[in-house]
Structure 1
């Protein structure tokens, strides 16, 4: 395995430690006094639709760092609309893209790139331009990007691996994890076969959730449920987690952040911190570091649903108290 350990570890600046708010872009200029100066018969053009890349009107949550992986842009299973909504509601000093961001395996079979996928890419580029330190660590589905490790594209640094130091002083090794998957490394034909079956499961998952939505039920991953019921899959996940933790120990780190297996997790393994940020085809999850240095898993569909329910409930409580 070839790595690039020379990548400098990002250290938090005093401003980042203080939990500063990101500088907001200037508001769009409005034409003053139009209603008073319009000639007879002149119609004011309608307001343009809201830009999906802009911050939402209900506010933004700021974290010190966000880790995202296994987005699989370019596939029908990608939940780009959910991810775009998550990015609009969250900002951070550091943003780590931990592999399988664009699915080159599927794009080689056929082109699938709706507007929402393009919006996700534009949103990440905009983050980098505004000062967020964005680091992209490619995975197996976007392994073609590994030839560009050490370079930067649109202020996004491409690295074979990266390191992050939390506010509490923990040094985390960041890698996608496919290099420690024996199937990927030694039986790639089996990995391609498994990927095709997985894509079929995701298609069933998509139709299944459309039916659930029609009947008023929240999002629930059928594909994830089936995967976690298979004993061999459970054993593979457990072995993978232990291998990653042991490799982090060998590198002198306090923990590891990875993706690849689409199972979000934060747990202690033999004194090492194992973190998996999940995915955006099943779990719709991200790993975040709060401004106090705590690490958490955010499940966006659950958090967003709670936000939507909490608002009217709070109003009702206020009205009752009054």
Structure 2
């Protein structure tokens, strides 16, 4: 890689991705490859469910682009990016390597990231919070018939959209956002994650697992979910000033949400004021 190629890439101190589900037919490895080839970072966090061992056990599938994602991550590690891997429930086999390294990639059960703004974030995949929710079957991405149907509809909707020149859009996320019990399950998961962050005395928490990208402040805790690369194609990035951004990456890239976590108290006040205005 020459200097010209490097200069074309956006630099971030840290980047978080999870729920890629390599080995699953609906993995959007094409968008992820485009994202990874567009950035460079000091630390890349893989926050679980990178490889979907559950899916491959049921029905083996492995597109060449899935290998290319792994090769890209390995190349980043070899070129000086610190890569930290926190296995999830779909790749839990790799938890046996916790506190060790695999091909230069560090494996941890959980991790504390300190931002450029000196804010501490707890990193976990999130499946530990299933027991705290009343509808954990709804939010565990276990490849059940209902979720597979959503993704089937998602896949064909986007094929039709492309025929008419449309960009990628997640029908699955749109449907889930309108199902009452699914919204309750997501809220219960988020509350459990925020509770864990308070318990561990950190400023925020970063997780994945439920395929619901989010960035918000609750009771002074910054809750971040980096989403997935099946439905949403989202990642979290840290800017040089410590600002956290949630990015969407398909044909059209955009910042979904951002937070200047150097001023968590101000964010909490602003969120409270916004809630009162909405009420």
Which residue in 2 is equivalent to 1:93?
A: 42
Identify which of 271, 287, 290 aligns with 2:220.
Answer: 271
Q: Structure 2: how far apart are the matches of 1:189 and 1:246? A: 21
The DSSP-based 3-state class of the residue aligned with 2:15 is strand
- Aligned pair count reads 255
Correspondence 1:283 to 2:223: no
More strand per residue: 1 or 2? 2
Identify which of 76, 81, 86 aligns with 2:30.
Answer: 81
Tell me the CA shift for residue 190 of structure 1.
10
Correspondence 1:247 to 2:202: no
Which residue in 1 is equivalent to 2:249?
A: 300
Which residue in 2 is equivalent to 1:176?
A: 125
Tell me the CA shift for residue 105 of structure 1.
0.8
1:178-226 Cα offsets, whole Å, 9 max, x none, are 0111289998799587633212321221111010011011111111111
Which residue in 2 is equivalent to 1:63?
A: 12
TM alignment of 1:140-151, pairs within 5 A = 140-151=89-100
1:248-267 Cα offsets, whole Å, 9 max, x none, are 11111111000011111111
Question: Compared with structure 1, are the counterparts of its residues 90 and 154 closer, same or farther at alpha carbon in structure 2 (3 Å cutoff)?
Answer: same
Q: Structure 1: how far apart are the matches of 2:43 and 2:100? A: 18
Which residue in 2 is equivalent to 1:219?
A: 168
Question: Compared with structure 1, are the counterparts of its residues 190 and 292 closer, same or farther at alpha carbon in structure 2 (3 Å cutoff)?
Answer: closer
Contact 1:184 1:191 in 2 (8 A): no
The DSSP-based 3-state class of the residue aligned with 1:84 is helix
Contact 1:183 1:190 in 2 (8 A): no
**Please, what TM-score do these two structures have when normalized by structure 2?**
0.85
Contact 2:211 2:231 in 1 (8 A): yes
Correspondence 1:134 to 2:83: yes
Unpaired runs of 5+ in structure 2? 256-279
Cα RMSD for the two superposed structures: 2.6
Which moved further from structure 2: 191-200 or 213-222?
A: 191-200
Unpaired runs of 5+ in structure 1? 1-23, 28-54, 307-322
Q: Structure 1: how far apart are the matches of 2:192 and 2:59? A: 35
Which residue in 1 is equivalent to 2:71?
A: 122
The DSSP-based 3-state class of the residue aligned with 2:144 is helix
Q: Structure 2: how far apart are the matches of 1:151 and 1:238? A: 34
